[in-house]
Amino acid sequence: MTGPRMDRERDRNEWTMMTPSRTTMTLDCDGIGIAAEVRGSGPAVLLLHGYPETKAMWEEVAAELSTTHTVVATDLRGYGDSAKPRGERYSKREMAADQVLAMRTLGFERFAVVGHDRGGRVGHRMALDHPEAVTALAVLDIVPTLHMFENVDREMATAYFHWFFLARADGLPEALISADRETWLRSRFTGRRHDGDRLPEAYAEYLRCFDVDTVHASGADYRAAAGIDLDHDRADRAAGRRVDVPVLALWGEHSYVGRNFDVRAAWTPYAPAVTGAPVDADHYLAEEAPRATAAALRVFLAEAVAA
């Protein structure tokens, strides 16, 4: 067999031979178990996944970054193999605190953060609440939550209808999704411009972890985004608090965000030291374009350390 698929398999095998092995664990973060994988050595970087993914999304990016960094990939509270407490304990402030505790437990007081989708929102909050810990922040295919909600139009409400559906507090989203979790999960990945380099492999892991507890937890996550997270963001804006470390914004050239926002301009009021660029991908940059994503992150992380 020849062609792009064979080339990708060859590249993955080469990466496996040259990158460090991983250690998996569950960390006790103030009573919340956070599942983590650690590999590599050097400056620490924390990778945070999006919805409805797990830390498995980072496999190829983590392998590349681990040649120069200690790479920690975790499952957010409510996702993957991390704890999934019932209730409304999913503000990005709480989810960010989990991750800071996880990194401290591993011995890292200061570290860079890379977050995709929901993980980018957790990373944004972490950089605001824990500036002593975060040395640099990269956000993948998002603009700030407050900016999104303040710029809702028909296209946003259509493309991101799940934001409003999942935020319902009447139990309807949980009931409908729980009735056929696989159909809902599949719908999050269909219709994309790219089939993705890693999506077919990672999807099996996403499906394994997308249990009823994740359905309930992710609803609470989205309700927090439409409620208490906005309160926290507005309070920061009123007080003039912004992210004061280097920020890299990467976005999918073919994603909703890439087509509808000036991403750098959207981030500038929240993070003055922001740079950014598009990646030839849709929403799932790390799965669809892992090489390009990892390359951009390596340059950014090297520059952030040197600054």
- Residues designated as active site: 117, 283
| Backbone phi and psi for residue 168, each to the nearest 5 degrees, phi listed first | -60, 140
Whose tokens are 């990672």? That residue is 202
Whose tokens are 């092995």? That residue is 21
Q: How far is it, in rounded angstroms, from Cα 130 to Cα 295?
A: 27
Q: How far is it, in rounded angstroms, from Cα 98 to Cα 120?
A: 15
Q: How far is it, in rounded angstroms, from Cα 284 to Cα 189?
A: 9
Q: CB-based contacts of 268: which residues, under 8 Å, 6+ apart?
A: 274
Region of 190 please: left (phi>0), alpha (psi -120 to 50) or beta.
beta
3-state helix, strand, coil in the chain (%, to 5): 50, 15, 35
